[in-house]
Structure 1
Amino acid sequence: MGTKFRNFRNRKFVKNPFIWCLILALIFNLLIETMARNQQPLYGGFYYMVTKPLVFIANTLILYSMLVVSALFRRGTFVVSLVGTFWMIIGIANGVILTQRMTPFTVKDLSAATDGATILTNYFSKLQLIGMGALIVGLLVTFVVLFIKGPKRKEKIPYKKTLAGVLAVILITFGSIFGLIRIGMLNTFFGNLQYAYRDYGVPYCFINTWMNTGIHRPANYSEAAVKRIFSKDQYTGKNETMVLKKNDSAVKEKKPNILFLQLESFVDPERFTNIKLSADPIPYYRSLMKNYSSGSLTVPACGAGTANTEFEVMTGLSVKFFGPGEYPFKSVLKDETAESVARDLKSIGYGTHAVHDHRAMFYNRNEVFNNLGYDTFTSVEYMSGVQKTPKGWAKDKILTPQILETLKSTKDRPDYIYTISVQGHGKYPSEPLLSNPQIRVTGAKDEETKNEYEYYVNQVHEMDQFVKQLTTELKKLDEPTVLVMYGDHIPALDIKEDTYRAKDLYQTQYVIWSNFPMKAVHKDMAAYQLSADVLGRVGIHVGTTTIYHQTKNHHGKNYLPNLKMLGYDMLYGKDYIYGGKNPFHKAGMKMGVKKIKVLSVEEVAGQYYIKGQNFTECSKISLDGKVLKTTYLTPSLLKLRGKVDPEDVKRMKVSQTDKTNETILTTTE
């Protein structure tokens, strides 16, 4: 038996790296696709291989073309292990992420890795995190040992012949992919990222999210084409000085406050057909939908991706124009200034503000909002007394006083406030965490499903109460106020089209409430159309995309192509719509609307205390940019823990720090 095995092992085809890499590519692809289909844990990959054989082969070739490069190295086993482990990590990460949210793993998630790391404890137990850390360390050690001690090819490598073979595999791979694209079996545009991964394969889609970014230059892009998007009577000026006309004549006497409230994972739970509930979780929101303007809102995110819904509502552009899985907040808007509803309203006298009961640095909001023209941004680091859900997210009722304080911060002008909530965020626990839930799930397929939905619907119920509290306070204002509310995406639960009455997993609901009479209009729209619709109802017609949506036929064949051209011109092109130059600058945004002050530093029994105003749990005593150990006592008192040179005391300041890593956001003057 031993002799037969040695003879088999020594045969040329067995030792041929091209054959082994092909076998490994097939195995890896099966495993990756099986993990991507956790609803079919045992046969998902095989089912995919049988039902979509050409697409499966194309994805296997992608892996093969990367693995076969190892044939050029003496340490081929090390290279194969490195490439194979990389793809298995992608497959495992994708499978795990799909159990937590409804959108698959993309290259753009790697750019958000620092944000993701800050909320890992919301998704995994400490033991699981320790296990993941140990696995990473183990892999690193294994690779070091494999590189040093691993097998090396003894025979001489015929480099010319091997290189020709590797290039042939790469050419066949590219040829296969382009051929499948030509016949429509593969696509480069992913209208639904989840479906794209399912239909076109994980390797192909993952690489696409890396190579396909930004808004591609339209084939007919030119100054004349951009200027033709609007009619001549919509411009003022001539030639290079031509700009779009502003029209806010209908609201010159008394402009209303315009408030947007983006509710985290908020949808009507009665749309879920796979559960039964003991009571209506959102009675107040339901009454608003009946009595005020409302309808379905098509959002760009599903189960996750809050920032992309923000982007569409704030800019009037669709994220479908960008690369698959891309977050403009993480790419172009991180560094570039751009037009937004905030900038447009500021141009007619509005104060512009953002409020969010989560980290300022999440999705780079502390930088992006400055680039989009906001005057202030109040994040959770500037809020005190924040209550938390059992999963550690801020409860949204803290937003009511924050919104009211923001309205009071500007006395002689109307306000535009964009508020992002966080309470409804997953992960939704499969074990019971609520001791006495107000809303009970009375029917579900199993206990884990019951617990997940029960937790979710009770958070939504509290959010409904928050909305009632907020509108009650806004009714008391002697200023006309419009409040636009909507869910950013459906929750990351086991929801499918056949268990969701909307039949579209990219649909939530919106309501337009006001403390003055407005005609109720019930219609459906997309998130990128929402702001223009609201502004139009109060007589405001300013801003490039706002005017575009308000004046163009939403069903016309050029509606989306021209909007895409505008987006390209405004963010990547030559700014023809602005006369050839980006007119926008950073807004000089301030963090928080309440000024944080240090009034005095006092020494008591050898301990230093700082007295001041508007401190929060994220206020830290700092010295020359270094954060010192601090105990928060009250909104007016902080205690220094530890020693400091008495000569340095007079230089101590108070800094607001990121809630997770103590990065300094702002420091008192």
Structure 2
Amino acid sequence: MKKVLKKIKAGFSWLGNNIKKPFIKLANSKAVQGYLSSKFHRTWMMLWDKYSFWMHIPLSLIIIFLMEWMSRHSFTAACTFVSDHTGPYLFNSYCVFVALSIVFLSKRRGWWRVFISMIFIILGIINCVILLNRVSPFGYTDLYMISDLLTMQDSNYFSPQQAMLAIIALIVYIILMIIYAARGPKKQDGKPFWQRLILVVALFVSLYPSTILLRNSGIMTSYFGNLAQGYLDYGYLYGFSTSVLDRGMNRPFGYSEAKIDTILENDGAYIQTLQTADGTRPNIVVILLESFYDVSECKFLETSEDPIPFIHSLEQNYSTGHCIVPVVGAGTCNSEFEVLTGLSCNFFGPGEYPQKTILKEVDVESYADVLNEIGYTSHVVHNNGGNFYSRKNAFSQMGFDTFTSKELLDITEYTPLGNWPTDDILLQATLDAMDTTEGSDFIYTITVEGHGSYPEYEVEKDPEIKVKANGKTEGQNYAWEYYVNRIHNVDDFIKQYIQAFDERGEDTIVIMFGDHLPTMGLTNDEVKTGDLYKTKYFTWNNFGMEKNDMDLTSYQLVSEYLNRLGIHNGNINGYHQTAMAAGKKYGTGEYMNDLRMLQYDIMYGDRYTYKAGKEYKASDIIMGVNEVNVDRAYFFNGRLHIYGDEFTKWSKVFVNDEQVSTKYESGQVITINAKDVKNGDKIKVCQVGSSNTIFRESNEYVVYDPHYVEETEEEAIEDGEAEADSAD
């Protein structure tokens, strides 16, 4: 073992020395040494040495300008920010100035100055790249999404080449900083350390009162109704800092048991009602349409034909309206959170995803709970990963009974780029979930076919829908054409979906909504609604519900239709129905103050709401509804062929409880290397999600093949050598 460690250490040492050599050679080159000995360099270093405190002022201004330039993808837009939002620009610069003061605590001032400056520049680069793929800027909560992002390398968020480039750049930066630390100059400060420490502490302490002063004066704000616009108005650094420091919910003024009692008393008539209007309970299906946008509401777009004719026919015959969602271009799970719980993301920190934060710790009342209480069974069906957005945990905290994610689906059809499954797989999965129950079902279905990003090059030579994006570049036209043809396919999926429910013969209502507009760089002026936070929702039913169009927020959507069905139980459901019946308008202080109070009480407070014993607990959610089954297995051509049902690309074989390399052949066949198993071993097939999460297991099967002959040691060595030669 010591020899192995010694070899590894020697290998790293050799790698480090060989990587450093070109940088050291560059540092010792005539050009670099000539510059270091030049009068310009000596004068510049004298200024930094003598007036470093004051030199941090222009440096801070430059750093913020560069961050804004990268964030806005425009030099002109950065200049406009400086001129039109001078106060926020100066405050962002002051924050950098304060951070740079740390250099005065060290002898290696130059090293710390470069290190701190690069932290801000790297933040700007990250935001710049992220805004190329979505509308929402980079926030602290995105750090919770790193594990999810790494599972999506084939989804156009980033390519393997981009990931490798980022890693190489990071390695180069670390090496340069190591060399600078070893060879950089040291500064012996004449002032005592305690004086410098007091200065630094005083500067950092000053940030709090200055922030409060600017907020009170209206120059800055503590809440962004529009996250992307907030970052643009108040600066990226301030926006990001707010997302770090301002998370969760603050205790509302006046929060008390008496206040909660007053709210519940006002809604009592609704909360206590547990029966429907006529005693029947139809199936309720809610469908999240990923990045769905009715392009007829886009001012500059022309299409060769209507891309969503079926959805438009629903709009003509059933209740519809605009749905006001909390996000644009990204953040699906926040629209999802509001639709499923009736709670508002406006009360959380800027850019926060509650499914990745507070729902990790507490359960929350949802419409699944409300409907489970009156006999419904609740299901989720989704053709993406079960752990993405921490959904398995979140849906459990919301009280859902089952969750069928992509790991439980035999997905074979993908979009033309091959990065997202088509949505048709969701139809049978939904019907399967409904077939497992005798009573009424609440189904939440999440699509992905419309997901970005959208390529700015020709993908389909002869797309079914031709698109003309007036005033846009050729690349943008290709992107719109790709997107329009994706939602055309979604329209066909919805048609099949509705037809299946109609043929099923059970009373059913379907509510479909767009979670956010697509990542296309749209502006308020380019959409007919004048608001990027307005998507559309559509409905269908087969029991004669009256058509009544109205605009709703995503946190009101399900509650409104439960009200029409005569379903009034649940604290949040009852609150919305009471508030809307009283004519209170969403978004106003009168409406939102009590909602904030209830939301805080349930998620962060003492749960006075539940003191009557109606607390909704997390569920023991079951992944998938169909049993994974192993029927038989036999050896052939160096592999064990395993036959059964419900196999997917995410099926993994475990031999004696140890996972082995598995090859997906079809929904009924998977294979493993014959060397990994022998007669008498116990095997099972598990559906495995990201982070090696086992979602579902098959029956245990004992391998027995009368024709099996165990390899000798020599044969195993020969097979290993043959595989190595083949790999070479």
TM category (shorter chain) comes to over 0.9
Moved more, 51-60 or 185-194: 51-60
The code of the aligned residue for 2:241 comes to I
Asked if residue 523 in structure 1 is aligned to residue 557 in structure 2, the reply is: no
Which residue is 1:26 aligned to? 61
Tell me, yes or no, if the aligned pair for 1:72 and 1:157 is still in contact at 8 Å. Answer: no
Deviation at 1:316, TM superposition (A): 0.3
Letter in 1 for 2:369: R
Partner of 1:589: 621
1:371 and 1:142 map into 2 onto residues whose CA distance is 47
C-alpha displacement of 1:265: 0.5
Residue 489 of structure 2: aligned partner: 462
Q: TM-score, normalised by structure 2?
A: 0.86
The 10-residue stretch of structure 1 (151-160 or 76-85) with the greater mean CA deviation from structure 2: 151-160
Residues paired across the two proteins, number:
656
Cα offset, 1:62, TM superposition: 0.5
Match in the other structure for 1:634:
666
Q: Quote the Cα distance in structure 2 between the aligned partners of 1:436 and 1:537.
A: 45
TM-score (norm 1): 0.94
AA paired with 2:622?
Answer: K
C-alpha change, 1:8 and 1:605, in structure 2 (3 Å) is closer
| Among candidates 160, 164, 183, match of residue 198 of structure 2 | 164
SS at match of 1:388: coil
1:116 aligns with 2:142: no
Query: Are residue 201 (structure 1) and residue 232 (structure 2) matched?
Result: no
Structure 2 CA distance for aligned equivalents of residues 128 and 5 of structure 1: 38
- Taking the TM superposition and a 5 Å limit, the aligned residue runs for 1:103-142 are 103-121=136-154, 122-142=156-176
Distance 2:617 2:647 in 1: 31
CA gap of 1:301–1:560, structure 2 versus 1, over 3 A, is same
1:35 aligned residue = 70
Are 1:548 and 2:575 an aligned pair? Answer: yes
1:141 deviates by 2.3
> Given the superposition, is the C-alpha separation of residues 157 and 656 from structure 1 closer, same or farther in structure 2, using an over 3 Å criterion?
farther
Determine the C-alpha separation between the residues in 1 that align with 2:41 and 2:263.
73
Structure 2 residue 648 is the aligned partner of structure 1 residue 621: no
615-624 or 147-156, which deviates more? 147-156
Contact 2:642–2:670 (8 Å) recurs in 1: yes
Q: Structure 1's 572 and 481: CA in aligned 2 closer, same or farther, altered over 3 A?
A: same
Partner residue of 1:240? none
Counterpart in the other structure of 2:77 = 44
Give the whole-Å Cα distance in 2 for the aligned partners of 1:139 and 1:4: 28
Which stretch shifts more, 571-580 or 441-450?
Answer: 441-450
Say whether the 8 Å CA contact 2:383–2:426 is kept in structure 1.
Answer: yes
Q: Distance in 1 between matches of 2:356 and 2:548?
A: 35
Q: CA deviation at 1:378?
A: 0.4
- The one of 76, 79, 87 aligned to 1:54: 87
Counterpart in the other structure of 1:241: none
Shift of 1:52: 1.8
Distance across 2 between alignment mates of 1:286 and 1:249: 30
Q: Does structure 1 retain, via aligned residues, the 8 Å contact 2:469–2:480?
A: no
Q: State the shift of 1:335 in Å.
A: 2.7
- Structure 1 position 486, deviation (Å): 0.9
Q: Does 1:324 align with 2:354?
A: no
> Which one of 122, 125, 132 corresponds to residue 92 of structure 1?
125
Q: Sort the Cα spacing of 1:74 and 1:633 in 2 relative to 1 into closer, same or farther, 3 A.
A: same
- SS for the counterpart of 1:100 is coil
1:651 aligns with 2:682: yes
Structure 1 residues 449 and 311, CA, compared in 2 at 3 Å: closer, same or farther? same
Structure 1, unmatched stretches of 5+, are 237-243
RMSD of aligned residue pairs (Cα, Å): 2.1
* Aligned-partner Cα distance in 1 for 2:196–2:626: 68
Inter-CA distance 250–3: structure 2 relative to 1 (3 Å threshold) = closer
Alpha-carbon distance change, 7 to 214 in structure 1, aligned in 2, over 3 angstroms: closer
CA contact (8 A) 2:327 2:516 kept: yes
In structure 1, what is the Cα distance between the partners aligned to 2:245 and 2:316? 45
Counterparts of 1:600 and 1:114 in 2: how far apart (Å)?
36
Cross-structure match for 2:605: 573
Instruction: Report whether the alignment pairs 1:150 with 2:177.
Output: no
**Which residue of structure 1 aligns with residue 722 of structure 2?**
none
| Amino acid across the alignment from 2:669 | L
- State the 1:14 CA deviation: 4.6
Verify the 8 A CA contact 2:276 2:565 in the aligned structure 1: no
Q: Name which of structure 1's ranges 70-79 and 524-533 shifts more when overlaid on structure 2.
A: 70-79
| Aligned residue identity for 1:461 | H
Shift in Å, 1:129: 2.8
Of 528-537 and 597-606, deviating more is: 597-606
In structure 2, the gaps of 5 or more residues are 1-34, 700-728
Q: Quote the offset at 1:171 in angstroms.
A: 4.2
Change in CA separation of 1:557 and 1:153 when aligned onto 2, cut-off 3 Å: closer
Query: Do the aligned residues in 1 keep the contact of 2:386 with 2:406 (CA within 8 Å)?
Result: yes
- Higher deviation after alignment, 548-557 or 8-17: 8-17
Give, in angstroms, the shift of residue 580 of structure 1: 8.0
Which one-letter code corresponds to 1:67 in the other structure? Answer: L
Percent identity, aligned pairs only?
Answer: 34
* Secondary structure, aligned partner of 2:535: strand
Change in Cα spacing, 1:76 to 1:273, as seen in structure 2 (3 Å) is same
Q: Is the 8 A contact 1:58 1:173 kept in 2?
A: no
